[in-house]
Structure 1
Amino acid sequence: MDRLIERFIHYLAVERGLALNTLESYQRDLIGYVSFLERSGVTDLNQTRRANIIGFLAELQRKGRATTTISRNLASLRAFYSFLLRDSLIDVDPTANLESPKIEKRLPKVLSVKEVESLLEGPDTGTVAGGRDKAMLELLYATGIRVSELVSLNLSDVNLNMGFLKCFGKGSKERIIPLGSVALTTVSDYLLNSRGKLLRDQAEESLFLNHHGQRLSRQGFWKIIKKYAQSAQIEKEITPHTLRHSFATHLLENGADLRAVQEMLGHADISTTQIYTHLTKSRLKEVYAKAHPRA
């Protein structure tokens, strides 16, 4: 079963061009599933039935996994079994006609403009690490790119003269995003004053480096943004996606075109971007309720 998982992951990487984070997510879900099957005495995927799938999902629920996590696991299993059936490696797809758990659509948490400003003012640009952190935070808020895309940027992906960056999103789809003047200035300052002091290997192409002179990881950035959120006394829960959500919401609140925001975010389906319009509407209702004398 482990070999079949490896074969499936290779197919996703080579034929479908999925991103490394997505591949790791599929692999993690399937390894957990195979472990469950082995504990249940199942050693052949041709022996699996609908009851095995339901049992696995029920175990995830008992462990307190979120509905979104359970739904993602089922999606991983569907894709895996579809692949096995297509290649005649199994006779029956046990996930056929199995309904996904209903997921309550929750609006993403965003920061106010004032909170964003407090967060972005946190780094001490007089230090090497502060100059890097300032550039990353400004770049993230200026472009709305994903954190995985931020840490994957190479020097060649940023064109300071033309004022844009190039990044590769889900499915390795390339998109070009304009940079504002503040982001341009902070990235220029970082390249001029900080990156060279972090650099250990002249052949290193990564834009943002850690103190070892290597590409900064998502986990490394996570610690950085949590630190500045704490120092800015922001009580809202901060995630690596918070500045992305704030970027989209603030653009739409100020009259940006939905299609333009969709393109900058790299959403394949505009319905994904439309959640931010619901968010701006809910905030307008809050403002109305507080300000109108007859609300």
Structure 2
Amino acid sequence: MAKTTASLTTRTLDRLAKQLPDGNEVWDTALGGYHIRSGKRGLTCRLSYYNTLGQRRVLTLGRYGEITAEEARQLAKEALADIAQGKDPRAIAEQTRLDHQLQEQQTLRSYLKGPYAAYQGRKKGGQATLNRLHKAFADWLDRPMGSITRADIERWQADQEAIKPVNSTSKAPTKPRAFSTMKRDFGALHTLLAHAADRKVIPFNPVAGIKLQKPALTEQELADAGVERRYLEPEEVEALFLGLERYQEEKRKQRRSSRAHGKAYLPDLDKVAYADHVKPWILFMYYTGFRPGDIAGLRWEHVNLPFKTVRKTIEKTAHQRPEPQTFPLSTPVIEVLATWHQQQGKPKTGWVFPNPITGKRFDRTAMQKPWAKVRAFAKLPSGLVLYTLRHNFASQLVMAGADLLAVSKLMAHSDIQTTIKHYAHLRPDHTRNIVEAFATRYFAT
């Protein structure tokens, strides 16, 4: 079929834009290879040529209307000049486009929305990590990842530590961020950049080897140092159990009032052992030392009441040790679980402590308010956090003479050094007994 030719002037292109059927081409009479092609979106100006390998190539110059007839002709001339020098203009254009795409991919924002979002989407706390990065490094989102320097990190930390002035939307100055929070933010950034470097998106992790500078402790922090990981005194344990009973009675009192005032359809809490999940949850933590996240993630499939064990993967260390671990349960906590199991209708599967409203898993902060109420009923110190129950479990075991390796396994520490660091000091009498036994055995009179 013969080629349709014409002088591709502005007047000609205006006419062809209205008349040329889709898919048809018209070739310029003066410039070899230069032509236009009609499509659903209008006329496209193109150049057909052969590269040095004898392959036919077509270079898109632009869409008519977005570029003029003269601009298209000039682009065709420049491309033909490159071809005469042995260059391949389409290959150059494709490489330029790839370089641009790669540059866009290398920005923090594009990587967060693309590859890293897919990677974090497969992780339990992935969305929280993405949100943390977006919030903590909002000013860096459009920067190439490889351009982040040590000086940037130092300025970022200094800015996070500064007290921000009052603005129009806040009633008070913004407080400096806690160092522990900044460490989590920076750790998330470090992990993202390492991920990008591993996949060759950037040549290397620009923050590798960089650490945040820990600020000097304030007088209050110095005074509080060493008291965070503490155990409960006997009178505090007694108060805790009393606080749980007072919490239950308050719940039952509220239910009696509701049933007496038009809500008789609500279950009678005076007829069950536990008013809600709070008492069995706290008792489980007290008797096992489990982390709140692992209690929230506890399923009946993990619990073996006859064998008095729990077998589950520990969530905090699942990335290092994905296989389930088995934990023995004491008789008191078995009684708690058995009673709760009976009260819940003896389920074989599902969450041990489901959200009573949604039936789904509780989030990691769900026990903060109930714990505050129990603590108030027990008249325990306001600074006593729920996590103290975990520390108390380990501390009491160590003070009772338990082997540190056994305690480490019961606490599901990934490294026994963690156990030694935080709890070995609770065994002064044990070490004293060792040296006394040695001295007595070899004492010379």
Q: TM-score, normalised by structure 2?
A: 0.54
How far does residue 97 in structure 1 lie from its aligned partner after superposition?
A: 3.1
1:8 aligns with 2:116: yes
Specify which structure has the higher proportion of helix: 1
43-52 vs 236-245, which deviates more?
43-52
Change (3 A) 1:13 1:109: farther
Q: Secondary structure at the match of 1:177?
A: strand
Find 1:246's aligned residue among 362, 375, 392.
392
Check the 8 A contact 1:163/1:184 in 2, yes or no: yes
> 1:71: Cα distance to partner?
2.1
Matched, 1:114 2:114: no
Q: Does 1:69 find its partner at 2:181?
A: yes
- Which residue in 2 is equivalent to 1:163? 308
1:92 shift after superposition: 4.4
In the alignment, which of 187, 208, 211 is matched to residue 353 of structure 2?
208
Aligned equivalent of 1:189, options 336, 339, 345: 339
RMSD of aligned residue pairs (Cα, Å) = 3.0
Which structure ranks higher in relative contact order (CA pairs < 8 Å, sequence separation ≥ 6)?
1
Instruction: Give a deviation string over 1:108-155, Cα, whole Å, max 9, x none.
Output: 233224313322341438735535322211211111111000011111
Aligned to 2:144: 44
Give the match for residue 272 of structure 1. 418
Deviation readout 1:12-71 (Å, 9 max, x if unpaired): 675xxx6x24x3553343222430314xxx433233333222222222222412222222
Aligned-partner Cα distance in 2 for 1:184–1:28:
39
Return the alpha-carbon distance in structure 2 between the equivalents of residues 224 and 102 of structure 1. 34
Alpha-carbon distance in structure 1 between the residues aligned to 2:389 and 2:147: 46
Correspondence for 1:225 among 365, 371, 374:
371
Change (3 A) 1:236 1:256: farther
User: Which has the larger share of strand?
Assistant: 2
Would the alpha carbon gap of residues 36 and 271 (structure 1) be closer, same or farther in structure 2, given more than 3 Å must change? farther
Is 1:166–1:175's contact at 8 Å kept on the other side of the alignment? yes
Give the TM-score, by structure 1 length: 0.79
Q: Distance in 2 between matches of 1:233 and 1:283?
A: 32
Q: State the Cα distance separating 1:243 from its structure 2 match.
A: 0.8
| SS in structure 2 at match of 1:219 | coil
Equivalent-residue separation in structure 1 for 2:188 and 2:400 (angstroms): 38
Contact 2:133 2:189 (C-alpha < 8 Å) held by counterparts = yes
Whether the 8 Å CA contact 2:300–2:352 is kept in 1: the answer is yes
Report the counterpart of residue 283 of structure 2 in structure 1. 138
CA distance in 2, matches of 1:33, 1:131: 38
Shift of 1:219: 2.4
Matched, 1:255 2:401: yes
Secondary structure of 1:220's partner?
coil
Report sequence identity in percent. Answer: 22
Q: Secondary structure of the equivalent of 2:214?
A: coil
1:177 maps to: 327
> Would the alpha carbon gap of residues 221 and 57 (structure 1) be closer, same or farther in structure 2, given more than 3 Å must change?
same
Partners of 1:75 and 1:281 in 2: how far apart?
A: 34
**Paired AA for residue 11 in structure 1:** Y
Distance 1:253 1:280, change over 3 A: same
Whichever residue aligns with residue 196 of structure 2, its letter is: L
In structure 2, the CA distance between the partners of 1:220 and 1:99, relative to structure 1 (3 Å rule), is closer
Are the equivalent residues in 2 in contact too, given 1:132–1:208 (CA < 8 A)? yes
Q: Within 5 Å, which residues of 2 pair with 1:83-94?
A: 83-94=195-206
Query: Over alpha carbons, which structure has the higher Rg?
Result: 2
Aligned residue for 1:94, secondary structure, equals: coil
Q: Deviations over 1:167-214 (max 9, x none)?
A: 321242322111111111111111212x24xx9xx8971111233151
> Aligned AA for 1:32?
K
Change (3 A) 1:240 1:32: same
Q: Distance in 1 between matches of 2:429 and 2:133?
A: 40
1:282 positional shift: 8.8
User: Within 2, Cα distance between the matches of 1:213 and 1:27?
Assistant: 25
Q: Distance in 2 between matches of 1:268 and 1:64?
A: 32
SS in 2 for 1:85: helix
User: Equivalents in 2 of 1:236, 1:280: separation in Å?
Assistant: 24
Where 1:165 maps in the other structure, the secondary structure is strand
For 1:249-274, what per-residue CA distance to the aligned partner results, in whole angstroms no more than 9, with x for missing partners?
A: 11111111111111111111112112
Alignment of 1:146-161 (within 5 A): 146-161=291-306
Which residues of structure 2 form unaligned runs of 5+?
1-107, 163-174, 218-224, 253-268, 431-445
CA contact (8 A) 1:141 1:243 kept: yes
**In 2, Cα distance between the equivalents of 1:152 and 1:278?**
29
